A and B are shown apart, each in its own frame.
Chain A
Amino acid sequence: MQNEFVPLFYGFHFYLFGLIALASAILFVTRKSPVAAALWLVQTMFALAALYIMMDAQFVGVMQILVYAGAIMVVFLFVIMLLNLGHPDEISDIRGTWGRVIAGLFGIALLAEVGAASRNALVPALQLPQAPTDGAINGTAGVIGPIAGPMFKEYLLAFELTSVLLLVAVIGAVVLGKKSSNAR
């Protein structure tokens, strides 16, 4: 399905989703209502998922929606609703003029750093043993084969250690939860 419209089609959608992601990210930071902020973050994640899929990283794109939009943000929203935070004006954490000035300076410094770093550094190509080709995608293992293979063979130790780290976090949460209920 190659013809002359494909680059135009691709470019249009790349900038469209990029713009949506940026705009929603800015709205996410600036909204005062926690529910609105959470929803703009969900919007950002959907736009990012679209960008991943355009880069042929379908697995990453779908996982972005499944894990972030579908699980983590739902829990966020659940907690925000459960706590039923007061009026947005009462819970704002922007503290006076000086706070804004210092935060602004930090923001500019961060942008400058990103700019300086990207000028004289190239992003190294992903060091996968084999870049997934169309052949691998259409092969027996499908589109997740090229991801699952390295993860469960070459990088098995790192993968297992990460899961142990997550397990520690889960156990920590349970322990903290138990403690507070005993104190009461």
Chain B
Amino acid sequence: MTHASLFALDATSQMDPTTGVFILASIVKMIAIFTLVMVGVAYTTFAERRISAWIQDRHGPNRVGPLGLFQVLADGIKNLMKEETYPSESNLALFILAPALAFIPAMLTWAVIPFASPLPTPWGRIDMVVADLPVGFLFTLAISSIGVYGLALAGWSSNNKYALLGGLRASAQMISYEIAMGMSTVCVLLLSGNVHLTEIIKQQSTMGWNVFLLSIAFFLFLIAAFAETNRVPFDLPEAESELIAGYHTEYSAMKFSLFPISEYAGMITASAMLVTLFFGGWDIPFTQWDNTGDFTVLKTLLTFASFAVKVLFWVFFYIWIRWTLPRFRYDQLMSLGWKVMLPIALAYVTIVATLVLVLDMAGLSRDWRFGGVMFAVNAVLVVLLFFVLDRGRIVSPAYSRLDKAAVDRLRAVTAARAALTTGEGA
């Protein structure tokens, strides 16, 4: 293939490829995505350590290689060389299977996420998504719902009470937040009218990004995504102060390492989903150049860059939150999921569905005007939720304000206990 043939493309480059080309391209895409995400995972662990150091005014790992960039390699080799231990009374088959069950779902979602505009080649148009499933969005929900098996089984098979408690917490937490997550994304589906991720991106390029049209759904999804990936402030399943290391207490060497790897892979995947559903996927903002006309190589490269920048921002956001917020208490976590997020999501779905129905009946075509009305209504709802209903009234029962009498009673009890202890000591 000459250099010219790559850029001087004829009409074939815009058409569907043949079966052979399709299979070959799919294999290449699988390998490329897997490699990219794995390298991303490795450097996210490094970024986490450097950013945490920056936030806490330390240096962080900066000794291995330039800027400490080879630290990842050193850690990987260390984990592979370490001795593996197995707890004596464990269920060995499940103990070995569990890390894989945690890791695979975290990677699998990448199969359906479109990461750039289609690439024209001399052998036909190659979609920049590994598998362009017509049920793509439901597939991502299904895969994220089976991620819990790895954690629950790791906890159970270790035959360790801390591990078991961690596993139980993981399954309860993930089931709870999955519901809020699913409900928040119903609004996205109402606007796009399709579960095909490519169509969801197309809708956002014509109507405006969903983060502006469906801000409350975005906030709910963001919170649920933190809970689904077990990140602070929802890292209850591995809370060091209560459960040693939670579900992976008994793991060592590379099997232990697979749990952090799957956590970071889950984080990158959740960021990619966030970008796809609410930030227009690979769409470049403020221009229609990337959505209209023939596909070109330049468009593919620039849209991929746009996607990567957005995903990396949300990965950074995950890290930023971890080193900023403290952990929830377990009952707060449950009440936030069931008593706050789920009712808000349900109410929001009702409002958005009504609005979409009214706008459709008014004969408004689904373009920027439709988006404009959605944005205006949404701005009012956001102000209502965060400035009127919040402030300890409805939205934040996790630290809801006690009335004065209750505070006085608690203080009296504490004072009485303190007096009693001093009395005994004397």
State the A residues within 8 Å of B (CB).
1, 3, 35, 39, 42, 58-59, 62-63, 65-66, 69-71, 74-75, 77-78, 81-82, 84, 137-138, 140-144
Contact = CB atoms under 8 A, between A and B. Distances in A.
Contacts of B175: 71, 74-75, 78
Contact of B168 (A3, A63, A65, A82): A82
Among all A-B residue pairs, the 8 with the closest Cβ atoms = A70-B145, A142-B194, A66-B142, A143-B134, A65-B142, A62-B138, A58-B135, A1-B19
A140 B22 CA distance: 25
Contacts of A78: 152, 168, 171-172, 175
B142 A144 contact: no
Contacts of A63: 138, 142
Nearest to B138: A62
A127 B22 CA distance: 35
12 contacts: A35-B91, A39-B94, A58-B133, A62-B135, A62-B142, A63-B138, A70-B145, A71-B145, A74-B175, A81-B171, A138-B134, A143-B135
Interface of B: 18-19, 22, 91, 94, 133-135, 138-139, 141-143, 145-146, 148-149, 152-153, 155-156, 164, 167-168, 171-172, 174-175, 178, 193-196, 199
Contact of A35 (B94, B168, B174, B195): B94
Contacts of A75: 175
A142 B19 contact: no
Determine chain A's interface SS by DSSP, over half rule. helix
A66 B149 contact: no
Given A66-B141, A74-B171, 13 more contacts: A1-B19, A35-B91, A35-B153, A62-B138, A62-B139, A65-B145, A69-B142, A77-B149, A77-B171, A84-B164, A137-B134, A140-B193, A143-B134
Q: Which of A1, A59, A62, A82 has the most CB of B within 10 A?
A: A62
A75 B174 CA distance: 11
Contacts of B167: 81
A70 B142 contact: yes
A143 B195 contact: yes
Contact of A3 (B19, B134, B146, B148): B19
